[in-house]
Amino acid sequence: MSATLEIRNLHARVEGQEQPILRGVNLVVKQGEVHALMGPNGSGKSTLANVLLGNPAYEVTEGEILLDGENLLEMEADERSRAGLFLAFQYPVAIPGVTLANFLRHAINARMKAQDPDTKGISIPQFTRLMREKMTMLGIDHSFAGRYLNEGFSGGEKKRAEVLQMAVLEPKIAILDETDSGLDIDALRIVAEGVSKLVGPNMGALVITHYQRLLNYIKPDRVHVMYAGRIVESGGAELALRLEEEGYERIRSAYAASEA
């Protein structure tokens, strides 16, 4: 059965603030599909990503998020990950003396232990094989796995580590918020090409981006435009091209009245 992420009439605000940011988001992403979420700055895209991540700074006031029919909002961040969601803010932070390979093996073992407390985890030969396979597929130099996490990854290397993490954890649905790296075209390309290689029958993705050019490297099945906390338009890849040409002005003038 293919996994489904379903967002229903989601309303959210910053914890402790009156003003709503998300004002009724509806979205369904299935395993195997690539959805792009676009929209002008301040429309609520990152807020949606944060709510999916379970960031306690945000409060859901209405609506629900279901993963395969289960209430995501009641799950802790690690449970969300075990249930098959990958939230790409979780790339390795600097940990002294730990290599990327160690970090990833630990992540796999934690996932396996959660499912079966008696498991011994992934064996070294199995893990080595898995890493080789994934790095070859992604075109990542094999020496990269031996890098220490505290050595200071460049923006592009962080993205590469993130894509590799996604590849080994094999999530059902990956959520990527690429707005902040929007100006670094190399980092953007690494993510987009990685996601295109990983997306298939077993993985779906919600790619959040301000910039149409991300979509030069990844072909979305569906494109959604968020404005003032709602998805105001959805379409195929051609909607992204249209936005590239006309900018967000048409969206602003068409939907400004609904903003109040």
Signed CA dihedral, 222, 228, 230, 232: sign only: negative
Least Å distance between CB 23 and ligand ADP?
Answer: 11
> Nearest to residue 123, comparing CAs of 134, 138, 112?
112
Least Å distance between CB 44 and ligand ADP?
Answer: 4
Q: Which does 43 bind (CB under 5 to 8 A by kind): Mg ion, ligand ADP, none?
A: ligand ADP
Q: What angle do CA 166, 159, 30 make, to 5 degrees?
A: 40
> Nearest to residue 209, comparing CAs of 229, 223, 193, 230?
223
Nearer to ligand ADP, 118 or 249 (CB): 249
* The token pair that represents 157 in the structure block: 């290397």
Of residues 77-116, which lie at the interface with ligand ADP (CB under 6 A)? none
Q: Which does 14 bind (CB under 5 to 8 A by kind): ligand ADP, Mg ion, none?
A: ligand ADP
Checking phi first, is residue 16 left (phi over 0); if not, alpha (psi -120 to 50) or beta?
left
Q: Residues touching ligand ADP: how many (CB under 6 A)?
A: 12
**Which residue of 43, 81, 165, 179 would you call a contact of Mg ion, by CB under 5 A?**
179
Of residues 28-57, which lie at the interface with ligand ADP (CB under 6 A)? 39, 41-47, 57
Neighbour order of strands in the sheet with 85-87: 85-87, 173-177, 204-208, 34-38, 222-227, 230-235
What SS3 class is residue 71? strand
* The token pair that represents 140 in the structure block: 């990542």
**Which residue of 22, 27, 31, 46 would you call a contact of Mg ion, by CB under 5 A?**
46
Least Å distance between CB 52 and ligand ADP?
Answer: 12
Of residues 156-215, which lie at the interface with ligand ADP (CB under 6 A)? 179
Least Å distance between CB 108 and ligand ADP?
Answer: 31
Least Å distance between CB 232 and ligand ADP?
Answer: 13
Residue type, 50: N
Helix, strand, coil share of the chain (percent; to 5): 45, 25, 30
Least Å distance between CB 177 and ligand ADP?
Answer: 7
Residues that bind Mg ion (CB under 5 A): 45-46, 179
Residues that bind ligand ADP (CB under 6 A): 14, 21, 39, 41-47, 57, 179
